[in-house]
Chains A and B, each alone.
Chain A
Amino acid sequence: MTAAAHTAAGPRRKVRRSFTDISFAIFNYTLLTCFTFICLFPFLNTVANSFSSSHAIQAGEVVLWPVEFQLDAMRAVLLDKNIIRSFFVTVFVTVVGTAFNMVFTIITAYPLSRRDLKGRSYFMNYMIFTMMFSGGMIPGFLLVKALGLINTIWALIIPGLISSFNVIIMKTFFQNIPDELREAAIVDGCGNTRFLVQVVLPLSGASIATISLFYAVGHWNSYFAAVLFIDNPDLYTLQVKLRNILLLAQMDTSLEVIQQYDGGLHVIQESLKAATIVFATVPILVVYPFLQKYFVKGALLGSIKG
């Protein structure tokens, strides 16, 4: 019915508007392509670096394509069993962490999205206050220690369990679901929980995908929590090593080296740095395209209404 209605009114108008339509489309595509390329550029540069020789990188010769091609850097990263182990740790934290995050975020955001819930503004105050004020690094550490989470993988999942920001976004999305649906459901004798699970969640595919992505990326990129709470290198996440190399490159530790010239301070080569970055970034990048199918224009919405 919907498709027919569109085309029924369509053809004549399409022909008349074709010039403006085409010029808009060209403008649109061109601008988007430019901007996309600008966003792509640093990443392509890093990938090119990871396959170039360190000297070429230092000499500023690498732009978008490898110079003095070599596979050693990539090989070193992929064969490093410590990096592989930290990869799996990161995956675990991301998957399990995001699952926990989503459950708690949804059950917190839904009640807050109900305008008829008395006292919800008190809870909002309570939550927003925590977004504004923080006790700092040391009290946070002491708390995690008191809970016995130091050096466990849960220290990377539980302290960040609920993000106020994400709850607010989720709540806003929930509020966009028309009240008529709920009224109809009440008439049918549907309780809150059933309504949440059977109506709200299926209609919130896009919001769930969005917030899951935010949490997943947050877990994947997090570094500081891992450094603070984890002493056991077996539980390091990918970012720990990556950040360490990147930040070390900016510190002047030249006076820490023994002045012996055999072997030396094994300064991390530029190409190795780039290869580590690529390895640490690519896995999370491929998550997003998979989530995109949830961004389909409210298809389910129409069907329920009908």
Chain B
Amino acid sequence: MGNRWKKGVVGSLTLALAFGAIAAGCAKSGGETEGAPDNKAEEPAKPAKVRVMIYDRGNAPEGMSLKEAPLIKWAQEEVKKIGIDLEYVPVPRASAGEKLNVWMASGEAPDIVFTYDVVEFTKFAEQGGLWELDDLLNKYGQQILKNNKAALDVAGMYKGKRYAIPMIRANTYTGGGKMKIRKDWLDKLGLSVPTTTDELYEVLKAFKEKDPGNVGKDNIVPWLLGPIGTGSKGFLYGVGFGFGLNMDAPAAGGPDMPTGIYRDGAFTSHIATPEGKELLRFVNKAYKDGLISKEFATDANSQQLTQQIATGVAGFVDNNDDPITLNETTRKAVPDANWIMIEPFKRKDGTQVIGRAPSYGMFIMIPKTSKNPEAVVKYLNWMADPAVIKTLQSGIEGVHYVIENGIPKAKDQAMADKAAKEVAWYASPGDLSIIQQGQPPQTKEELDKLYADRPGYADSIWNGWEIYRKFGKPEPLLTMQRPFAQKNSAAIFKQLNESVSKAIIVDDFEKAYAELVSNWEKVGGREYDKELTEALKAAGK
């Protein structure tokens, strides 16, 4: 009995298998959407099909999805009027790199793709897989040329021709690492905000010795740092600038400190400059004096760093988080915690510098396999209209916000919730309005009105913007090809990421530093610098 049953199972499975194989062989892939749709016979001109890549960050609230999002539907309706049939192709954000590669290799890519990685863009341009955009922009993209001028001027070109439309970053008052300190601790100890690196050291020592937060002398972490350069949430930018380092070269994945100094016609990378040595010595001393967590270098996924912020034992940190975000977290444990952003330190020559986000964001590209590049540019052109940008970022007026005193605000909590559910989760990262990121208020008054119901918000934000306005310097964008860097920078910076952390935790700093520099030279650090010098010269610096 058991055997016959087994036979029956095997038999029917085999049948199912055969059927399935036939079905698979005959079935055209369900998602095949190349070419124009065939059910618009009544329209005189078939609308051009434009498929757009969109990031899926896995953060859709329950019941929502990218297909049903109201702004996406709105966009699709609107562009029908200009003869475009819009379709969105979601890609999980974490795998976008691989997906893009297979798409480009197989010709399956949507009509619009993008990346935040300039190396990826350069590779695609170099290998000849992108449409040239100069003519198309002139013909169909006047609004883009107007709106994105600041970004277009500095990014998206390869060998003198345009291959990408850079998204314009409307708010460049960010990036480069924000130095933040616990004002409540300073106040308790009667100290003023440090303005130089020496003052910072005194403050950190005072934190450690006097424990203003009463968290226990063993628990306090005056200076919050992470393993340098591995994507951790604790940078050395602020202090690095304070020692005189500059951002004279683009960052390339190395340690999180200002990249180096271009001086007397030559560029030298951070660690090889005397200023860099002083910086590392400073950090090494701080580590020895217990001002930095003994485990910072092994905090590979920033777990401890996050924990130290959440439990309120940290005093000073330099990363991309806003003080508002930190306050939200720390106040859950310490209600009167007060993180504030501080000005860049005064250097020996009296200047103050902070790195600043460039005017461009992601690179929008049209693969050569796209059949409708004109329609694509028309779509982006439609998007570059400030009114459209506003909708794509904030929602539909009257539904998700109303204009009060010239400021978009949620009328009530219900509207705010609706906006959060239907708009914010994909509009905030700028995944929809890829042509421009942000549409910030331009004056303090607007900001105050926007956050009238949240005391302290507007001031904190404005304070940050002022700092960037006064002292922010973006990194230079170099267009000259640098083959040595292309081949070796990954290895060079990998080497540095490892060595810098090691140099901080050892006792014999001089020896470790000498080793650091010689190892860096062995992997080609000096050639890298030389090539950069030439690129900087070519860029007219």
Contacts and interface: CB of A to CB of B under 8 A. Distances in A.
A252 B233 CA distance: 9
A138 B105 contact: yes
B307 A240 contact: no
Interface stretch (B77-85, B95-103, B371-379): B95-103
Interface stretch (A17-25, A39-47, A141-149): A141-149
Given A197-B10, A256-B430, A264 B424 contact: yes
Given A76-B62, A150-B29, A197 B3 contact: yes
B63 A257 contact: no
A145 B106 contact: yes
Interface in A139-175: 141-142, 145, 147-152, 154, 158
A232 B30 contact: yes
Interface in A177-220: 197-198, 201-202
A266 B106 contact: no
Interface string B294-307: 00000001010011
A262 B62 CA distance: 19
Given A81-B62, A253-B93, A258 B31 contact: no
Interface stretch (A120-128, A241-249, A286-294): A241-249
Contacts of A197: 3, 6-7, 10
Contacts of A133: none
A298 interface: no
B236 to A, nearest CB: 15
A80 B439 CA distance: 31
Interface of A: 55, 58-60, 76, 79-82, 96, 99-100, 102-104, 137-138, 141-142, 145, 147-152, 154, 158, 197-198, 201-202, 224, 227-228, 231-233, 240-241, 243-248, 250-268
Interface stretch (B170-178, B482-490, B531-539): B170-178
A59 B430 CA distance: 30
B419 interface: yes
Nearest to B62: A80
A260 B30 contact: no
B37 interface: no
Contacts of A254: 320-321
A264 B10 contact: no
Contact of A268 (B59, B321, B329): B59
Interface string B329-345: 10011000000000000
A255 B174 contact: yes
B451 interface: yes
A80 B421 CA distance: 13
Q: Which 6 A-B pairs give the minimum distances between C-beta atoms?
A: A263-B424, A151-B31, A247-B94, A244-B92, A258-B438, A58-B310
A58 B308 CA distance: 9
Nearest to B116: A256
Nearest to B438: A258
B398 interface: no
B320 A252 contact: yes
Contacts of B10: 103, 197, 201
Interface centre among B95, B98, B410 (most CB of A within 10 A): B95
Contacts of B410: 262
A104 B10 CA distance: 11
A252 B232 CA distance: 8
Contacts of B63: 79-82
Contact of B99 (A104, A145, A228, A264): A228
B330 to A, nearest CB: 10
A138 B66 contact: no
B94 A251 contact: yes
6 contacts: A103-B14, A197-B3, A198-B6, A250-B301, A258-B429, A261-B322
A198 B3 contact: yes
Contacts of B362: 256
Given A100-B17, A150-B29, A244 B307 contact: no
Contacts of A265: 57, 59, 428-429
Contacts of A138: 101-102, 105-106
B17 A103 contact: yes
Contact of A260 (B108, B173, B428): B428
B58 A268 contact: yes
Given A82-B60, A266-B428, A59 B311 contact: yes
Interface residues of B, number: 84
A151 B7 contact: no
B65 interface: yes
Given A60-B307, A197-B10, A233-B65, A264 B29 contact: no
Contacts of A259: 171, 173-174, 322, 438, 440, 461
Given A58-B307, A79-B63, A103-B17, A227 B92 contact: yes
Contacts of A148: 24-25, 27-29
Contacts of B95: 224, 227, 243-244, 247
B89 to A, nearest CB: 5
A275 to B, nearest CB: 12
Contacts of A198: 3, 6-7
B32 interface: yes
B451 A261 contact: yes
Contact of A257 (B66, B301, B428): B428
B16 interface: yes
A142 B102 CA distance: 8
B314 to A, nearest CB: 12
Nearest to B170: A258
B334 to A, nearest CB: 11
A75 B505 CA distance: 45
Contacts of A258: 171, 393, 428-430, 437-439
Nearest to A150: B29
A300 to B, nearest CB: 9
B420 interface: yes
A150 B428 contact: no
Contacts of A60: 303, 307, 310-311
A260 B324 CA distance: 12
A247 B98 CA distance: 14
Nearest to B60: A82
B231 A250 contact: yes
B320 A248 contact: no
B457 interface: yes
Given A255-B320, A258-B429, A266-B424, 10 more contacts: A58-B307, A76-B62, A138-B105, A152-B27, A227-B92, A228-B102, A244-B56, A244-B92, A260-B393, A265-B429
Contacts of A253: 93, 429
B20 interface: yes
A232 B87 CA distance: 11
Contacts of A102: 13
B425 interface: yes
Contacts of B56: 233, 244
A145 B108 contact: yes
Nearest to B313: A59
A79 B63 CA distance: 8
A248 B428 contact: no
A62 to B, nearest CB: 11
A218 to B, nearest CB: 18
A72 B393 CA distance: 27
A142 B106 CA distance: 6
B67 A58 contact: no
A251 B302 CA distance: 11
A282 B106 CA distance: 37
A253 B93 CA distance: 10
